[in-house]
Every structure is written in C-alpha cells, then in structure tokens.
C-alpha cells in the first residue's frame, strides 16, 4: 500500500510540472578554410526537431570576451530558459546557434567577431558558418527567419553585423554591448602583438557608434528594416556606449527599443536579459 501511495504521489508531481528535456543540445563544429581551423559550436534543437520539415527560425547567440561557445548553456541556462518560454508560448520553437569566437586565455588566443590579422572571423561567420549550419539543420534561409543577439563583445558584434548585413537578420537584441573602445573602456595591453590588444583594436575600428555618423540615406533605410533592442544595466561600465548609440539612432530615425534596468556587467543581469531577448526574437520572426 505504501508503495502505491508513493507511486501515485510521483505521478501527481509529474502532472504538476511539464516534462522538459525533449529539446537537445548538440556539440557541433564547422571546418573553416578561411580561419584554417575547426570552430566549435553549441546548437540548441527544439522539441520535435527530428520530425520537422522546417525551415525553423534560427537565432545566432554570441558570447562575450573570456567566454566561449558553451557559456550560454553552462552559465546562462539557455536550454532550460528556452524550453520554459516555448512551453508558455512566449517564444517560438527555434534553432539557436552559439559559435566559439575566442578563448578564456585572451592574451594567447584571438578573440572577436571581426576580421583582424590571421583571424577573418566575420568572413567565416557569413561565408561558412551560416551556410553550413542552416543547411545541416534546415533552419533560417532568409532574413525573416534569422535573428542575432549577444552579450558584451558578442552584443557589440550583433549590432555591427546587423549594421553591415541588414539584409540578413530580422532583429538584433544587444545585451550590455561593447560598441566601441575609443576611451579604452575595456582595458587593453600596450603590446600590439598581444591578442587582447588586437581584440580591443578591432572593436574600435568597427565601432557601432561611429557607423551611425557615417550612415547615408540608403544605409539608414536598410537599418530601419531590422528590429533593434539595446539592454544595459544602470551600473554597467559600458552603459554610456548604449546611450550614445541609441541617441544617434533616434536622431536619424532608426527605431530602437532601449532599456536600462537594475544591474551591472554580470551573468546575473544576462540571465534576465535572456528571458527578454528570446520572446523579442520570436515576435520578429515570420514565415
């Protein structure tokens, strides 16, 4: 009798909480001729993916400096969060691609999403990564089914990627974005051969803020085809960059949602940002 009661209790618990874990995390890789190496990628596949004919919408979710492709799952709980949001209807089933763009040892290994000496990552991203994974997982294939988001270094890259390739993404959600480094916001070493120096120099060279100063009418029209969201904490040392970018976008008639919430440049903040970014991408996908 006691065993029966325990079994019934367990069944009631299962009924009270939806079963999760039917989505999958896949350890992927893309062999790059451009970079001359194989790039590791974490991929989230939604429940029912194997039975789907697709194409699924796809979100490219970019990590920050000192992190790698595993950070959004291991530190951000991506799978748990997205399963929950899909279950409540706040997010649509989607593929999420999280590529590696660096290493925690920032002085020895190149980090960053832009083209620098011996590291043409932007060329790899658009010329090899996107075609390979969208073909492999029957996702994306069009601007309407593709979004980009990221935090810090990845947040800045998501903005610049949309500025330079507005025909590729329906939306951009940038969390605590590193948008420029003109005032050495992220302290760089003086040694110009140091890999970390090259990362900071590339962010300065590809400034998202400066882009708005140079944008002509055609560029501004293209930017208006993307849905934009900037999200930064009130105690974040990079907040002024988001404020500068937002002011320039507003001045030039490019609509952008901007939120300054309580928090700093930390995973505590990005946990809550993730719960906002996934519904935002979902709302702006279309078939």
> Which is more confidently placed, 102 or 205?
205
> Cβ–Cβ contacts within 10 Å for residue 73, how many?
17
- pLDDT confidence band for 51 (50 / 70 / 90): low
**What value does the mean pLDDT of the chain take?**
91
> Which is more confidently placed, 35 or 184?
35
- List, in sequence order, every beta strand (DSSP E) within 33-163: 37-45, 58-62, 95-99, 115-116, 119-120, 146-151
> Which is more confidently placed, 163 or 199?
163
Identify the three-state secondary structure at position 101. coil
CB 117 within 8 A of CB 128: no
The answer, yes or no, to whether residue 194 has pLDDT greater than 90, is no
The answer, yes or no, to whether residue 119 has pLDDT greater than 70, is yes
CB 185 within 8 A of CB 232: no
Domains of the chain are 23-284 (3.40.50.1820)
CA atoms within 13 A on the CB side of 65: 25
């Amino acid at each position: 009798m006691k065993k029966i009661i325990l079994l019934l209790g367990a069944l009631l618990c299962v009924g009270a909480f939806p079963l999760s874990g039917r989505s999958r995390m896949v350890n992927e890789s893309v062999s790059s001729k451009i970079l001359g190496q194989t790039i590791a990628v974490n991929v989230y596949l939604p429940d029912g993916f194997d039975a789907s004919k697709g194409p699924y919408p796809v979100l490219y979710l970019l990590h920050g400096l000192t992190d790698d492709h595993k950070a959004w799952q291991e530190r951000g709980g991506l799978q748990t969060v997205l399963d929950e949001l899909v279950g409540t209807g706040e997010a649509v089933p989607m593929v999420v691609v999280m590529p590696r763009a660096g290493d925690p040892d920032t002085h020895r290994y190149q980090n960053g999403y832009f083209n620098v000496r011996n590291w043409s990552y932007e060329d790899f991203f658009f010329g090899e990564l996107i075609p390979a994974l969208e073909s492999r997982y029957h996702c994306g294939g069009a601007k309407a089914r593709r979004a980009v988001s990221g935090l810090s270094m990845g947040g800045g890259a998501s903005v610049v990627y949309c500025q330079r390739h507005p025909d590729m993404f329906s939306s951009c959600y940038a969390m605590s974005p590193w948008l420029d480094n003109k005032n050495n916001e992220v302290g760089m070493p003086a040694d110009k051969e140091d890999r970390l120096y090259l990362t900071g120099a590339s962010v300065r060279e590809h400034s998202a803020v400066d882009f708005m100063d140079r944008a002509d009418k055609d560029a501004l029209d293209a930017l208006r085809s993307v849905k934009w969201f900037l999200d930064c904490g009130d105690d974040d040392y990079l907040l002024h960059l988001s404020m500068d970018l937002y002011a320039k976008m507003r001045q030039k008639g490019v609509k952008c949602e901007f939120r300054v919430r309580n928090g700093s440049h930390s995973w505590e903040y990005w946990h809550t940002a993730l719960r906002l970014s996934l519904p935002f991408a979902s709302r702006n996908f279309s078939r």
